[in-house]
């Protein structure tokens, strides 16, 4: 099931996305909270009549760096012995169709297409065999990065944590195996990144075990699983799209911060 979060007439709601043709999708409004028990109301609205919001409001976004060998190599890095983990703040999260604001302190903004894991239940020290029980679903993410700032500053809080640097969406797919999905990024329709989640050095299971060894994850928390090779520049006016097989396409435009 694909679950979107959206606003209509000033109200925020969750809905199940129905239909196959991008132009005729409808949302069946959900009664209750998607992570817990919920029902479909049967009240339907066309998706093109609503504004999509980030599909979840995470308490935290935990991101993993250098999880595809070819991307580590293109950045001149070794594959790390232990996964590199960092946070993106909740204020960095935007939804499909929202604008990425080019920050004033960077001259080298990059896209990073990533599979995002959405957590469904509060969990800590999750054993490998229980990982599937704590995952709600998957969505597309763009770990937008000020690459020049990342090189200059030893911690990545500013380079990867500025406002609008974490597009998520367009919705959460709850019924998919994340093990071998095509993942790509295009800029203005031109392909930049193309990889498969099977090339991840650490699997989704590995990452949930590793992160929850240290911290409690809450419903709605998000894990970004790293980006395949082919990262590259974004400029004001560009339209960047992240597509993951079986999930959908997350599109955002880059604007100058006003």
Residues that bind Mg ion (CB under 5 A): 112, 143, 227
Q: Indicate the residue whose CB is closest to Mg ion.
A: 143
Instruction: Supply the minimum distance, in Å, between the C-beta of residue 145 and Mg ion.
Output: 7
Answer whether 218's CB lies under 8 Å from 122's CB.
yes
CB of 194 to Mg ion, least distance (A): 16
Pick from 176, 228, 220: which is nearest to 64 by CA?
228
Q: Which helix (H) or strand (E) holds 239?
A: strand 239-244
Q: Give whichever of 212 and 227 is closer to Mg ion, judged by the CB atom.
A: 227
Q: Measured from the CB of residue 66, what is the shortest distance to Mg ion in angstroms?
A: 8
**Cβ nearer to Mg ion, comparing 98 with 143:** 143
Least Å distance between CB 224 and Mg ion?
A: 6
- For Mg ion, the closer of residues 200 and 217 by Cβ is 200
For tokens 């998607």, the residue is: 34
Cβ contact 67:226 at 8 Å: yes
Bridge partners (DSSP) of residue 39 are: 31
Comparing CA positions, the residue from 130, 126, 100 lying closest to residue 112 is: 100
- CB nearer Mg ion, residue 27 or residue 93: 93
User: Residue 174 in 3-state DSSP?
Assistant: coil
32, 50, 173, 146 alpha-carbon torsion, rounded to 10° = -120
Q: Which is nearer to Mg ion, 14 or 162 (CB)?
A: 162
Q: How far is the CB of 113 from Mg ion (least distance, A)?
A: 9
Closest CB 65 distance from Mg ion, rounded Å: 6
Query: Which residue lies nearer to Mg ion by CB, 112 or 221?
Result: 112
* Dihedral of alpha carbons 245, 115, 243, 57, sign: positive
Report yes or no: 79 and 72 within 8 Å, Cβ to Cβ. Answer: yes
Element holding 212 (H helix, E strand): helix 204-212
């Amino acid at each position: 099931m694909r679950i979107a979060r959206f606003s209509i007439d000033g109200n925020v709601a969750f809905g199940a996305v129905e239909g196959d043709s991008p132009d005729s999708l409808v949302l069946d409004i959900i009664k209750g909270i998607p992570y817990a028990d919920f029902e479909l109301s049967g009240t339907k609205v066309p998706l093109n009549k609503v504004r999509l919001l980030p599909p979840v409001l995470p308490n935290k976004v935990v991101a993993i760096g250098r999880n595809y060998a070819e991307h580590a190599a293109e950045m001149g890095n070794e594959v790390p012995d232990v996964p590199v983990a960092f946070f993106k703040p909740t204020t960095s999260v935007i939804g499909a169709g929202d604008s990425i604001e080019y920050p004033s302190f960077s001259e080298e903004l990059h896209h990073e297409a990533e599979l995002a894991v959405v957590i469904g239940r509060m969990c800590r020290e999750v054993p490998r065999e229980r990982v599937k029980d704590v995952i709600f679903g998957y969505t597309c993410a763009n770990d937008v990065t000020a690459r020049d700032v990342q090189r200059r500053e030893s911690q990545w809080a500013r380079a990867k944590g500025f406002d609008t640097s974490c597009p998520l969406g367009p919705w959460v797919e709850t019924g998919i195996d994340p093990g071998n999905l095509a993942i790509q990024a295009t800029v203005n329709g031109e392909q930049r990144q193309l990889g498969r989640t099977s090339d991840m050095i650490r699997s989704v299971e590995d990452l949930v075990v590793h992160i929850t060894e240290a911290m409690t994850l809450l419903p709605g928390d998000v894990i970004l699983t790293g980006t395949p090779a082919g990262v590259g520049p974004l400029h004001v006016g560009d339209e960047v799209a992240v597509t993951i097989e079986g999930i959908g396409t997350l599109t955002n435009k880059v604007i100058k911060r006003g």
